[in-house]
Amino acid sequence: MIAKEIIEERKEIVVNDIETVKKRLIEYEQKKLEDTALLNALTGALQQCDYFLNKIHNDNSDDGNDD
C-alpha cells in the first residue's frame, strides 16, 4: 500500500514542475514577441536597402541617358 505521505510528496513535486513549465512558457512567449519585433525591424531595414539600391540604380541610369 502507498502511504499518504508519499502521494503528498509526489503531488508537491508535480505542482512545482507545473509552475516551472508555466514560467518557461511565459518566458518563451516574451521571447517570441521580442523576436517578432526584431524580425519586423530587420525586414524594414532590408526594404530600405532595396529602396536605396533601386534609387542609386535609377539615378545612375538617368545620368547615362544624358550622354
Extract the residue ranges of the chain whose pLDDT is less than 70.
64-67
Q: What pLDDT shows up at residue 64?
A: 64
pLDDT of residue 63: 74
Cell of 43: 525586414
DSSP per residue over 19-48, as a string? HHHHHHHHHHHHHHHHHHHHHHHHHHHHHH
Alpha carbon separation from 28 to 1, 13, 23, 50 (Å, rounded): 41, 22, 9, 32
pTM of the model: 0.66
